[in-house]
Structure 1
Amino acid sequence: MTGRRFSLARVLAIFIKEVQQMLRDRPTFAMAVGVPILQLLLFGYAINTDPKGLPTAVVTQDGGPMARSLVAALEQSGYFRIQARPASEREGDALVEDGEVQFLIVIPPDFSRRVVRGEQPPVLVSVDATDPSASSNALAALAQLGAQALRRDLVGPLMPAGAGGALSPSNASAASGASAGMPFEWRIHRRYNPEGLSRYNIVPGLIGTILTMTMVMLTGLAMTRERERGTMENLLATPVRPLEVMVGKILPYIVLGYVQLGVILLAAALLFQIPMAGSFTLLLAMIGVFMLANLAVGFTFSTLAKNQLQALQATFFFFLPSMLLSGFMFPFRGMPRWAQMIGEALPLTHFLRIVRGIMLKGNGLQQLVPELWPMLLFLLIAGTIALMRYRQTLD
């Protein structure tokens, strides 16, 4: 009868047994400890919702002192980093379209003279708004900057030209760019997303994140499932070559990926009215390269893992940095340099730029080459590792 009573000694024995089992399962223990550390590092050091130092091109058509003061004020604000000075607005537009700069600021001719006359000359601010969260704070800072930029220039008899120094409530919107009572006027042009809709950024990005999760996870389970079901020996006994096994196992998931793509694009067009400015055929080709890169990663995980649980754990360690450091959830340019370097090594980072460039900007193949070759390089490296690991599995 005593055996039916609750025993702390038996509970302690089971507790010790489970702890020993957990310590033997090193991948699970590493995940339990490593995931919180990884999240702390990424959210604490890499994630920044207020990006500064955004790459900016300035076209200065006036060499006067007030134009120079305005450019200096832009740099001192911390939000704008002048990295290009194109000769014309057309050249600046090309930089924005290629994604090399976030902002294009055009100072018109006779800017200084018109400010002195109180004519309130317009200053064009053209912004790449494919990711509204990356530029919203910088645009909001322009209102305060416009009132303070020329404060040292408009003194003495020139003071009436800068009177007011603040936006009226009806004109305080950065979207309108109006600047009543200011020495000049900001004219904001949100390119590719005039209304600043977040879904224009999120929905195309979902294509990459969903494909990353499903391609890596499902392929990661491919080889481990063979081992757990005991069919790996039968596969090894066949004359099938390692490359043939890889291709045969990857092809079904490519078909599945295109099915997912069709569902997402249909929802994007019918439910969210996301435009398709570029070539649909080019988008399909780029997605094919992206899927192959992720499938190679999943296949590598499947050769490293001993069971399906370990494969899922490895998938999570790849998916979490991809989602957080690619620019999908948080502005990429707001991250520190070391986080950007890690993000540049991930295929999702380049794919997000590609899919947004095609759908929102109408980019062609020539403009996408800087983002395409890193994905191809990643595919080559991951595929080679997967093939080598599979050969070791055969041995």
Structure 2
Amino acid sequence: MSATDAASQHRDVPEPTFGFWRRSYAMLVKEFIQLRRDRVSFAMIVMIPVMQLLLFGYAINTTPRHLPTAVLIQEDSDLARSVLKALENTNYFRFTREVHSVAEFDDLLQSGKVLFGVEIPRGFERAVRRGDRPALLVAADATDPVAAGSALGTLGMVVQTALAHDLHIGDPPAMPFEIRAHARYNPAAESRLNIVPGLVGTILTMTMLIFTALSVTREIERGTMESLLSMPIRPVEVMFGKIIPYVIVGFIQASLIVGIGTLLFGVPILGSVALLAALTTLFITTNLSIGYTFSTIVQNQLQAMQMSMMFFLPSILLSGFMFPFAGMPVWAQYLGEGLPLTHYIRIVRAIMLKGAAPSNLQYDTIALIVLMLIAMTIAVTRFRRTLD
């Protein structure tokens, strides 16, 4: 009998009814065993929905309150103190700094250490009582329109509260003083001025993590790591050799995004382009170092992708890109401070929209350097000299 006839005869034999279900059950058991062995994938199945629930439920706040505010008091009077207390009672303003000069006032806003500044001029109370209608200035960092808009909308009731408390006037036909709100850096509250600079960091975070997280695992799966390990090369040399090409790729990506944002969306670059390029390179290197660390932890490309997404999710939610950073709970802000994207978003918005100088960016620059060194140290320490 030929092989063709035997195969045809085999197909004609009726299959037991339970054969299909038995084989399907065997595959089911096999997949569960494989899932149990793949601890990284199993952790992602559990952690991603839990993380999303906790972050959206507790950390994300679209109506931020208790925002850091500086005050420049050029007159310490009862009415001035009453106005400040009325501002605090709105729950949108939290006075964290008291400055003594306009230069210090402007520097705090430009560096992002405060989101609002309140200036009470000299002779304020006497001018109110004489009916001169003096102006009280509230300056807002409007690079984040969501955070600034809600707070500025409450200023009208501040006048009423201060008048009722100190001047014992209900609703006068003409207000004895006015509050002038000055939305700096984005006076028209255009969302693209806030979103486009943040997209530079967000896109770079995603691509740089994935590129390097896959680099080592790809070598292991293809079997080329054995050849690499047989060479007289140190772990730090392997790391730099894999990171540097992607630094160039990331810089090209960043230039492309900034160029499109400037030409098509009209986002200005008020600060130094050289400073922006230098700090962008630092941010790219930090993300590449973190991605390389991931590649030394996982065992295959699927796990590398999963771990990258696990890191990217809190980065995009806790960095201040989508939701106001100052409106998050304190514990969420502490987590956000440990993410490179948080510091880079502050840097890129400050340079492009505020024209910030290096002195305004010291904290975030040092934070990126520290995070980069920590990631590099872990990566070099964990790099396997053998495939065991």
TM-score over 0.5 for the pair: yes
Judge conservation of contact 1:55–1:101 (CA < 8 Å) in 2: yes
Match of 2:137 in 1: 124
Of residues 212, 219, 239, the one that matches 1:246 is: 239
CA shift at 1:6, angstroms?
A: 8.5
Name whichever of 60-69 and 26-35 sits farther off. Answer: 60-69
Q: Is residue 26 of structure 2 the alignment partner of residue 25 of structure 1? A: no
- Whichever residue aligns with residue 242 of structure 1, its letter is P
Judge conservation of contact 1:129–1:135 (CA < 8 Å) in 2: yes
CA distance in 2, matches of 1:351, 1:213: 14
Q: Taking CA–CA contacts closer than 8 Å with sequence separation of 6 or more, which of the two structures ends up with the larger relative contact order? A: 2
Q: Is residue 214 of structure 2 the alignment partner of residue 226 of structure 1? A: no
The SS at the match of 2:343 is helix
Match of 1:163 in 2: 172
Match of 2:111 in 1: 98
Judge conservation of contact 2:229–2:386 (CA < 8 Å) in 1: no
- Whichever residue aligns with residue 163 of structure 1, its letter is P
Which sections of structure 2, spanning at least 5 residues, go unmatched? 1-13
Judge conservation of contact 1:215–1:298 (CA < 8 Å) in 2: yes
- Tell which structure's C-alpha radius of gyration is larger: 2
Of residues 140, 144, 148, the one that matches 2:161 is: 148
The SS at the match of 1:123 is strand
Judge conservation of contact 1:147–1:183 (CA < 8 Å) in 2: no
The SS at the match of 1:40 is helix
Match of 2:146 in 1: 133
- Whichever residue aligns with residue 137 of structure 2, its letter is L
Judge conservation of contact 1:92–1:104 (CA < 8 Å) in 2: yes
What whole-Å deviation, never above 9, does each CA across 1:231-283 have from its counterpart, x for those lacking one? 11111112222222111111221111011112101111111111111111111
Matches within 5 A, 1:166-315: 181-315=174-308
CA shift at 1:350, angstroms?
A: 0.9
CA shift at 1:116, angstroms?
A: 2.5
Judge conservation of contact 1:225–1:308 (CA < 8 Å) in 2: yes
Matches within 5 A, 1:374-389: 374-389=367-382
The SS at the match of 1:359 is helix
Match of 1:176 in 2: none
What whole-Å deviation, never above 9, does each CA across 1:38-90 have from its counterpart, x for those lacking one? 11111111111111111111122233321111111111221111112212333
What whole-Å deviation, never above 9, does each CA across 1:152-194 have from its counterpart, x for those lacking one? 2222xxx38x514xxxxxxxxxxxxxxxx43321211111111
Of residues 348, 356, 375, the one that matches 2:349 is: 356
CA distance in 1, matches of 2:129, 2:67: 30
Judge conservation of contact 1:303–1:393 (CA < 8 Å) in 2: no
- Whichever residue aligns with residue 38 of structure 1, its letter is M
CA distance in 1, matches of 2:47, 2:384: 30
- Whichever residue aligns with residue 260 of structure 1, its letter is Q
Of residues 47, 56, 75, the one that matches 1:62 is: 75
Of residues 52, 57, 64, the one that matches 1:39 is: 52
CA distance in 2, matches of 1:263, 1:78: 41
CA distance in 2, matches of 1:184, 1:9: 84
Judge conservation of contact 2:35–2:42 (CA < 8 Å) in 1: yes
What whole-Å deviation, never above 9, does each CA across 1:307-342 have from its counterpart, x for those lacking one? 000111111111111111111111111111111111
Name whichever of 221-230 and 130-139 sits farther off. Answer: 130-139
Count of residue correspondences: 375
- Whichever residue aligns with residue 172 of structure 2, its letter is A
Aligned-residue Cα RMSD (Å) equals: 1.8
Of residues 75, 81, 90, the one that matches 2:88 is: 75
Match of 2:339 in 1: 346
CA shift at 1:391, angstroms?
A: 4.4
The SS at the match of 2:183 is strand
CA distance in 1, matches of 2:17, 2:248: 57
- Whichever residue aligns with residue 146 of structure 2, its letter is S
Which sections of structure 1, spanning at least 5 residues, go unmatched? 165-180
Name whichever of 101-110 and 301-310 sits farther off. Answer: 101-110
What whole-Å deviation, never above 9, does each CA across 1:185-228 have from its counterpart, x for those lacking one? 12111111111111111111111111111111110000000011
- Whichever residue aligns with residue 60 of structure 1, its letter is I
Of residues 323, 335, 342, the one that matches 1:330 is: 323
What whole-Å deviation, never above 9, does each CA across 1:72-124 have from its counterpart, x for those lacking one? 11112211111122123332112111222111111122222232333322111
CA pair 129-393 structure 1, distance change in 2 beyond 3 A: farther
CA pair 393-334 structure 1, distance change in 2 beyond 3 A: farther
CA shift at 1:9, angstroms?
A: 4.7
CA shift at 1:144, angstroms?
A: 2.2
CA distance in 2, matches of 1:88, 1:292: 38
TM-score by length of 1: 0.90
Match of 2:4 in 1: none
Match of 2:127 in 1: 114
CA distance in 1, matches of 2:64, 2:361: 24
Judge conservation of contact 1:223–1:299 (CA < 8 Å) in 2: yes
Match of 2:9 in 1: none
Q: Report percent identity of matched pairs.
A: 52
Judge conservation of contact 2:218–2:301 (CA < 8 Å) in 1: yes
- Whichever residue aligns with residue 77 of structure 1, its letter is T
CA shift at 1:10, angstroms?
A: 4.4
